[in-house]
């Protein structure tokens, strides 16, 4: 696992959440705190999904962690838009 600490994970999660909200076109509705939350929860979701496919998510490094968070954030935002019906 990366030795980033809590601040590192907040930064990676925030960046991934912000880029994910840009991809899903929800950035205007979200603030920085929600971007960070979506990125962190997205990282957990992305890591869980990748582990279901047998991928070692713990030893991937910085970029792998970032793209895992980004993938999870996009999936999470897609599901939120699907449930709420927002476009």
Q: Could you tell me the two tokens for 61?
A: 């490094």
pLDDT tens string for the chain (87 positions)? 455 666 777 788 788 888 888 888 887 777 778 877 888 888 888 878 888 888 876 677 778 878 888 888 888 888 888 887 765
State which residues form the domain around 64.
5-84
Tokens standing for 19? 């880029």
Number of domains making up the chain: 1
Q: Which DSSP category does 58 fall into?
A: S
Query: What is the model's pLDDT at position 1?
Result: 44
Residue carrying structure tokens 């994970």: 9
């Amino acid at each position: 696992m990366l030795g980033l600490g809590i601040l590192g994970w907040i930064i990676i999660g925030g960046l991934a959440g912000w880029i994910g909200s840009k991809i899903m076109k929800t950035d205007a509705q979200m603030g920085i705190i929600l971007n960070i939350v979506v990125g962190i929860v997205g990282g957990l979701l992305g890591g869980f999904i990748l582990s279901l496919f047998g991928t070692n998510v713990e030893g991937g490094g910085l970029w792998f962690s970032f793209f895992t968070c980004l993938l999870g954030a996009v999936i999470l935002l897609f599901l939120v838009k699907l449930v709420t019906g927002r476009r």
